[in-house]
Structure 1
Amino acid sequence: MTSPAFRPTHVVPGPGMPAWEVPDPARPTVPLDPLLPVQLLERRGDWAYVLCANGWAAWVDGRLLIAVPQDPPAPEGPLTRAADPRPLLSRASDALARYRAAVEELAGGGLDGEAFRGRTRGLRIGVIVDGEDVWLYDAAHGRWVYAEGTRLSTYATDEGPQAGGHAPTEVVQADGNPPTEVAQPGGHPPTQVVTRDGP
């Protein structure tokens, strides 16, 4: 049951994330599910203490949380068919119905674990409803959208900012060490660490 004071401020990233009882890597607890809405309660450096809708709370790496804007951007211009959230709501409803049917069949013994994984592979939905506001995950376009009634706008995408043809970042060292590469997440080119002789 959702706590009446619960208002999501963030969403867990797509792969899910580990969680800890206290801000100490030696005290792990149950990981958080992908795209789970959470409310940020406290920050301690990179650590974030989050509350889940069911009242359970844990510490996570706050750098990985995806913020849910509290003041969503107002759509510009008149409403167009492309800005209508109803098709996305229908797709989310259909995906949830397919998942529910697969769960029922698994629970009834009609599917084994492998068949269940095959039946649910590729299903991704995310929905947060808060009164007139709704945040929806659009799996077809890899983005989160915000809707208030029949007005829809994008506020986050799965892909980070594009490099736009820029060269990877260079970190220049003056300590005489040879150049090294620092791997970057998401398949981006590695950061170059270059030694420089002068200041």
Structure 2
Amino acid sequence: MSKAPSPGFQPTHVVPPRGMPAWEAPDPARPTLPLDPLLPVELVERRGDWGYIRCANGWGAWVDGRRLVAVPEDPPAADGPAGTADPRPALARAEQALADYRSAVEELAAGTLDGEDFQDRTRGLRIGIVVDGESMWLYDPEEGRWVYGDGRRLTTYATDREVTGEDDSGHAPTRLVAPEGER
């Protein structure tokens, strides 16, 4: 696992719609925190079925690389074709979702909301956003897609489409591969 800064983070894949397990090393005995559904990640290295990914915050882990959903193409260039939408409405929805979640957290902390009511109030609430300078990746739950924005427009980057043939068992990749130099 790496906490090194991630300059130039460029997502190449997203985590499948149901999330996925992750490991500290390409070894099934070393699990770590699971990855959230549709999280943008950068595939840095492959070792057989294993893939080493890095997140926007620099955190890295090993995953079953076969299950990652490839991003269809690089984000559009600023001088590329017009995007699909004005980013302001999607940003307003993201702000509202975050405000709703924060309000529920504050009420839970104040004791005016119990754990069950907190779960009910936040059930189905989804938000995802990565901002890196002028670039933004935003999850739009109304459309079920990740969009890329450059401040002027949004363009679809990845969707919630079903990934066929994926193993939902939560198990590690089937082939263990020794690190370079140990083969």
TM-score when normalising by structure 1: 0.68
Q: Does 1:31 align with 2:51?
A: no
Going by fraction, where is strand more abundant, 1 or 2? 1
SS at 1:134 equivalent = strand
- Paired position in structure 2 for 1:178: none
- Give the aligned partner of residue 59 of structure 2: 56
Partner of 2:21: helix, strand, or coil?
A: strand
Question: What residue number does 1:106 align with?
Answer: 108
TM-align CA RMSD = 2.8
TM-superposed CA distance for 1:70, in Å, is 7.0
Name whichever of 67-76 and 129-138 sits farther off. 67-76
Letter paired with 1:124: R
Measured after TM superposition, the shift of residue 68 of structure 1 is 4.7
SS at match of 2:22: strand
Q: Which runs of 5+ in 1 are unaligned?
A: 162-182, 186-199
Q: CA deviation at 1:63?
A: 2.2
Matched residues, number: 161
Structure number with bigger Rg: 1
- Distance in 2 separating the partners of 1:133 and 1:157: 18
In structure 2, how many angstroms separate the alpha carbons of the residues matched to 1:184 and 1:69? 19
Residues 100 and 66 of structure 1, relative CA distance in 2, 3 Å threshold? farther
Number of the residue aligned with 1:76 = 81
- Gapped regions of structure 2 (runs ≥ 5): 167-183
User: What's the % identity of the aligned pairs?
Assistant: 66
Secondary structure at the residue paired with 2:146? strand
The one of the two structures with greater contact order (alpha-carbon pairs below 8 A, sep at least 6) is 2
Distance 1:160 1:95 in 2: 24
How big is each residue's C-alpha offset from its partner over 1:48-75, in whole Å with a ceiling of 9 and x where there is no partner?
Answer: 1123344433211122223456732366
